[in-house]
Structure 1
Amino acid sequence: MRNKLLLFYTLLLVLCFGGYAAYTQHALKNAQTFYLQMAPLDPLALLSGEYMQINYAFEQDVFGINAPVKQVTLYVDERGVAGRAKTDKPLVIPVHQVTARLPHQFYFQEGTAKKYDTAAYAQLKRLQDGRFLISALADKDLKLL
């Protein structure tokens, strides 16, 4: 009896993890994709591995003012680049204190830092639950690195 119960719970656990993995892949495939221009980058290597600290160009404009903001509205152009110039595709980004609620670190494989020297844009995906994820970095021509 115990062996059957153990087998049942093991299969249930495998199905749960498999379902979550499938859901995550589906959410990433169907997520809204856009690019944000990056400000100067700061590559670092810590115990967690190599990563790049990313600042976004729009943050310098928005957070340079004294009035606190709760959200920032950017607009996505025909190339998929989000910026301050108004288009018919608004993108609302929530703000926490004085930084946008966007990921600011991009982790990469150790020893491949030179590959990202020409990075000018971060490719982000907006998941259905409102979170953002950096999926890749791109050069000035939006070619993925």
Structure 2
Amino acid sequence: MRRRHWQIALMAAVCAVLALAGWTVRQHERTLSQGQIVYRQLNAADPRALMQGDYMALRYTEEESLAITLYYARDPLMPAANMPQFAYFRLDTRRRATLVGWGETSQVAAGLLALRIRYRNGQPTLGPNAFFFQEGTADRYAAAAWAMLRVAPDGDALLVALTDEDLKPLGYNHF
């Protein structure tokens, strides 16, 4: 290829990457502004990472039981690609989520919410797994009991805040 063709190919690749990044940001902004607010209960979490700064590794109460249930419910001959793609939750009057099942579609009955299952190292995860905060402010988040999420209709979830037992946001929040 001549030099001019390489330049055109490079510019096309850069434009494609920028378009994809812009589309992703737009989708996340839509989820943050229009997604359903849902509270998911947290297990104990681990703060701090030397390379990443201060953060809290989030573990949700349902994830361990879901992993065990899916492991034993799965046919040993079934490929991992056929694992369920969504977890279904019932919301109480305060919008706290309780796991009630799983399946292949984000379309659910009234009163239920579908949350996309992501698989990391073969284990199912049900939402963002880390919360980053400013160095030196870890004590603000020590009482974290619930994660406040915004969930899009397609089941994708974004972490908005950590809350205490009474669902009061901890630290600084801009929502």
| SS, match of residue 68 in structure 2 | coil
Matches within 5 A, 1:33-112: 33-65=37-69, 66-68=72-74, 69-70=83-84, 71-84=86-99, 88-95=110-117, 96=119, 97-112=122-137
Larger displacement relative to structure 2 (48-57 or 94-103)? 94-103
1:74 CA drift (Å) = 1.2
TM-score (norm 1): 0.74
| SS, match of residue 35 in structure 1 | strand
Identical columns (%):
32
State the partner residue of 1:120: 145
Q: Counterpart of 2:114 in structure 1: which amino acid?
A: V
Q: Counterpart of 1:74 in structure 2: which amino acid?
A: F
Report the CA distance shift for 1:22/1:84 in structure 2 as closer, same or farther (over 3 A). Answer: closer
- Once superposed, what is the RMSD of the aligned Cα atoms? 2.9
Q: Counterpart of 2:94 in structure 1: which amino acid?
A: R
Q: Counterpart of 1:76 in structure 2: which amino acid?
A: L
Report the CA distance shift for 1:19/1:57 in structure 2 as closer, same or farther (over 3 A). Answer: closer
For the 8 Å contact 1:93–1:100, the answer to whether it is kept is no
For the 8 Å contact 1:75–1:88, the answer to whether it is kept is no
Report the CA distance shift for 1:105/1:130 in structure 2 as closer, same or farther (over 3 A). Answer: same
1:80 CA drift (Å) = 0.7
Q: Counterpart of 1:62 in structure 2: which amino acid?
A: L
Q: Counterpart of 2:131 in structure 1: which amino acid?
A: F
Structure 1 segments unaligned to the other structure (5+ residues): 1-15
| SS, match of residue 139 in structure 2 | helix
The CA distance in 1 between the partners of 2:88 and 2:49, in whole Å, is 33
| SS, match of residue 63 in structure 1 | helix
Larger displacement relative to structure 2 (41-50 or 115-124)? 41-50
Larger displacement relative to structure 2 (97-106 or 63-72)? 63-72
Give deviations 1:10-51, integer Å, cap 9, x for gaps: xxxxxx999987775454121111000001111123222211
Report the CA distance shift for 1:85/1:131 in structure 2 as closer, same or farther (over 3 A). Answer: closer
Count of aligned pairs: 130
Report the CA distance shift for 1:24/1:117 in structure 2 as closer, same or farther (over 3 A). Answer: same
Report the CA distance shift for 1:88/1:141 in structure 2 as closer, same or farther (over 3 A). Answer: farther
For the 8 Å contact 2:45–2:59, the answer to whether it is kept is yes
Larger displacement relative to structure 2 (89-98 or 113-122)? 89-98
